[in-house]
A and B are shown apart, each in its own frame.
Chain A
């Protein structure tokens, strides 16, 4: 699997995802600086976590208009797999590749801790190594992770099987009190209509190493290797 990780000014989890991809695929992704207008020929493009452009204006808003994003959007429309994590998810929403938007956390505070995450579907190139209904433990680290879309959009996402992950309790229960940020219907990650683009707030890349605790983010990267290698 050939992959590229886009680095914006202010990205800060690019090396975390590079390490995770390398653990699963044995190959180091190519780092691409945001000013580059042509992307190398790759199977997977990753938009990593961080504070691109300092979160100024709105999270992800400036990065979504960065030179490299025109090419990312073009590739995504042609079917290349695109994974946006945390700030990457915010950028995908701002660029129009995914519906909805990420608002300030309901608590108005940055939150960093492991959360329960329920796999809503194993029917995707990102989640095929999971079973639908699996309960994962994966960290979140964000101040703006409160997913919002109008009810019609939420209904459509659910109806089309495009909700990838929801926040849940340790027993898999999906209730508002286990949602760390106030997201609509506990949504933590969603696909585009063709399911080659995934955006999610939690950090599966920080749950791939047994020394650091949970490894339940690892199958996401293994799934991509299976699908794209």
Chain B
């Protein structure tokens, strides 16, 4: 073995390990590592795989609940939804690869998260994504939007999993680091979940799926470092996706999972064969011996190092029961996929890797995880921003402000994006993209799942704790607004360099806010992903703790959307309006200020107000519902009018002493708009539970939007502005 003969000579390139970490490697092995061994340590101890900077804080999130079958630590979270079924879901980032090569980066992001879900025995039933790009005027932005959207569509459409929802933001802080977070939701029998813990020494280790090539070598290491001006040179670390093979792999795995052949299974994601073999054997307290000559390869002359670190896509590793080999082979033959025994489990507790008959790695498995570095990185709290008084903010004409806001990059219609995604395949999409949350029916059932992703990075930057709580609360509100009972979340923590105390402070603050929100709302975290080092030349992104929420609807026929349904219905505002303009889009888009403290989040009010709304939807006493978020009250009303192709007459007398512009555009939390032919039952139930609810106007026929009897603008004029921005931008007209 090369390591032994190389004695204690320190390699020139530590592959991203620090000197201190390299010292640990020497202590564990008692000698210098071989190239392959160093590669294994490098990827396993990368930030991406080891969570070494974030683990301490992630542990503080609530992860259990009466419905939680499996929380963080497996490939995806599992939640009981009754009737013997479980929902399996996770979100994962592919930020760094997508910036380097947007189509393949985004496509393989979708492929990777799909595998995380079906490896647990779940049929993927929906995809979502959260995207963040630089400012529209930046020369790279259009190219990234175009490539990322095409990549997500290219992969998701082909595998036949509908992409039902998502969100997209633009901000200059993402000029050098876009964010691509992909979420998959699957459905499995609650008593047939597959885990990655290996068992049974001697059992065969089986390689499934596509062949191994030289793509993506050291992808996990690349994703654990900042970008510099040579990022383009990292293109070879990006993987190449083949959704056709993935589709076959899904079908073959699910067919095999319906039998009793599998002991354990795990996808080969980041760090490929290395992480899948080390994690499976490690969880089972066993050793594993691999003969790399047996690995199906699509290139010749691959070394042990390259095979162990390749991140070629559409591959799985499985521990099979010894006498089920023929059965597995028959199923994989049907789909014309490789199914090859490449090794076996041992009792030695060691990872032994052979290539051409030579031992290329022989290392203890337990210390790789047990002695992995874990850092308590220094952090400084983000300084509090002053509250901005509404009276100090200029009052713009409401119609003018509305025209600006509805066509601004962060509020303009995303139709150009989601029409490139097949959001209907499988034939169960009840609520399509464009509403508060997507709703997908469960096949053969009257139940449905509501799905959403959300985050407001500008709030998180200004006050991480409030922003973290708001991200969780907004998804909870979105699910509530379609009539769902929120079940649990998955989180994707996108931050800058954790070695900088102010960035670590953002992370710590966001976690604290999320913990509070998840606890109060009985809304545990069941899976997640951390992406750090989203920085280019020292410029960090706005922190984005993206939250993916899943809710359950008992009778999907009772779910409602945001569209006005008829003329003459009362419009009811639920929740308190203080007119909070700090960090609002009004302040940013009309006053060119990104400033002030973000709106406070009152979790008790969230819970109370949401409970009322959900009960009203279940009781059938409201006809439409929309949560209030970016842009505030008037923007939310316009979104309901656009969806329903009807106008409204708004009365401002309910505003009390709040200045009109703050009442119309403030972003106070815990608020909803509902419509009802008869408002009395809603108002009455609100009084009973002490929730603020007030009639602020009514829907009307035609397209006019009026404020206190004065005509503001036609909803069709706003539609042209709202729908026009993104297509015009992408067609390079702007």
Contact = CB atoms under 8 A, between A and B. Distances in A.
Interface of A: 9-10, 12-13, 15-16, 19-20, 33, 35, 49-51, 53-56, 109-113, 139, 141, 143, 203, 205-206, 209, 211-212
Given A141-B425, A211-B441, 8 more contacts: A12-B247, A12-B425, A13-B426, A53-B244, A55-B158, A109-B150, A110-B421, A212-B441
Interface in B395-419: 418-419
A61 to B, nearest CB: 14
B423 A211 contact: no
B422 A110 contact: yes
A9 B246 CA distance: 11
B243 interface: yes
A212 B430 contact: yes
B386 interface: no
A188 B418 CA distance: 22
B426 A16 contact: yes
A155 B244 CA distance: 37
A51 B423 contact: no
Q: Which residue, B158, B243, B335, B429, has most C-beta atoms of chain A within 10 A?
A: B158
Contacts of B158: 10, 12, 51, 54-55
11 contacts: A9-B336, A10-B158, A10-B247, A13-B426, A15-B426, A16-B427, A51-B244, A54-B247, A109-B420, A211-B441, A212-B429
Contact of B556 (A12, A15, A49, A211): A211
Contact of B160 (A50, A111, A205): A50
Contacts of A206: 424, 427
B254 interface: no
Contacts of A110: 153-154, 157, 420-422
A56 B428 CA distance: 28
A143 B116 CA distance: 27
B420 A112 contact: yes
Contacts of A12: 158-160, 247, 425
Nearest to A209: B427
A24 B556 CA distance: 22
Nearest to B446: A211
B244 A54 contact: yes
B293 to A, nearest CB: 29
B706 to A, nearest CB: 27
A35 B243 CA distance: 21
B137 interface: no
Given A12-B160, A141-B157, A212 B336 contact: no
A130 to B, nearest CB: 21
B412 to A, nearest CB: 18
A112 B426 CA distance: 13
B242 interface: yes
A109 B157 CA distance: 12
A139 B157 CA distance: 14
A51 B429 contact: no
B248 interface: yes
Contacts of B419: 111-113
Contacts of B425: 12-13, 16, 49, 141
Given A12-B159, A110-B153, A112-B419, A51 B430 contact: no
A220 B333 CA distance: 37
Contacts of A51: 157-158, 160, 243-244, 247
A111 B424 contact: no
A214 to B, nearest CB: 11
B557 interface: yes
A171 to B, nearest CB: 16
B413 to A, nearest CB: 13
A19 B425 CA distance: 12
Contact of B427 (A10, A19, A50): A19
Given A141-B157, A212-B429, A9 B422 contact: no
A73 to B, nearest CB: 23
A211 B430 contact: yes
B160 A9 contact: no
Chain A to chain B: the 5 pairs with minimum beta-carbon distance, closest first: A12-B160, A54-B244, A16-B427, A51-B158, A141-B422
* Most chain A beta carbons < 10 A, residue from B153, B159, B160, B424: B424
A35 B334 CA distance: 9
Nearest to A19: B427
A15 B556 CA distance: 20
A16 B429 CA distance: 11
Contacts of B244: 9-10, 51, 53-56
A90 to B, nearest CB: 14
A146 to B, nearest CB: 16
Interface string B329-341: 0000011100000
A12 B114 CA distance: 15
A120 B287 CA distance: 68
Contacts of B427: 13, 15-16, 19-20, 205-206, 209, 212
A206 B428 CA distance: 9
A139 B150 CA distance: 20
Contact of A112 (B150, B154, B245, B422): B422
Interface in B329-369: 334-336
A5 to B, nearest CB: 13
A143 B155 CA distance: 13
A19 B428 CA distance: 11
Contacts of B248: 9-10
A9 B248 CA distance: 7
Contacts of B242: 54
Contacts of B420: 109-112
A139 B418 CA distance: 14
Contact of B424 (A19, A55, A56, A141): A141
Contacts of A53: 244
A19 B429 CA distance: 14
Contact of B335 (A9, A16, A205): A9
Which of B154, B244, B245 has the largest number of chain A CB atoms within 10 A? B244
B557 A211 contact: yes
A212 B556 CA distance: 11
A94 B218 CA distance: 42
Contacts of A55: 158, 244
A13 B160 contact: yes
B174 to A, nearest CB: 23
B172 to A, nearest CB: 27
Nearest to A20: B427
Contacts of A10: 158, 244, 247-248
Nearest to A113: B419
Contacts of B430: 211-212
A141 B425 CA distance: 8
Contacts of A212: 424, 427-430, 441
A27 B290 CA distance: 50
B74 to A, nearest CB: 27
Contacts of A143: 157
Nearest to A210: B557
B729 to A, nearest CB: 15
Contacts of B247: 9-10, 12, 51, 54
A55 B154 CA distance: 11
Nearest to A14: B160
Contacts of B153: 110
Nearest to A54: B244
B373 to A, nearest CB: 41
A15 to B, nearest CB: 7
A139 B424 CA distance: 8
A42 B1 CA distance: 64
Interface in B94-141: none
Among A13, A110, A113, A143, residue most surrounded by chain B Cβ atoms (within 10 Å): A110
Nearest to A56: B244
A110 B424 CA distance: 13
A51 B250 CA distance: 15
B16 to A, nearest CB: 35
A54 B242 CA distance: 8
Given A9-B244, A51-B247, A112 B160 contact: no
A139 B557 CA distance: 21
